[in-house]
Amino acid sequence: MNISRNFILAGVAYLLVGISFGIYMGSSGDHSYAPLHAHINLLGFTLMTVFGVLYRVFP
């Protein structure tokens, strides 16, 4: 349970960072951080959340 919870919390932390880059790109019009933004969100948030949910389903 603890591993699952820690993965989900790590995902939330990455999501806040990733979304900050997204908001920065949207407001500045400079999209050069798109790959960084994409991978912080996809690996950091999506993958960590998948890990967290899988550890809960298959403890």
Closer of 26 and 54 to ligand HEM (Cβ): 26
* Side-chain half-sphere exposure of 44, counting CA atoms within 13 A: 16
Six-digit token string for 13: 């932390």
Least distance to ligand HEM, CB of residue 42, Å: 4
Closer of 48 and 59 to ligand HEM (Cβ): 48
The residues that touch ligand HEM, with contacts defined as CB under 6 A, are 19, 22-23, 25-26, 31, 34-35, 37-39, 41-43, 45-47
Six-digit token string for 59: 């403890």
Measured distance CA(42)–CA(23) in Å, rounded: 16
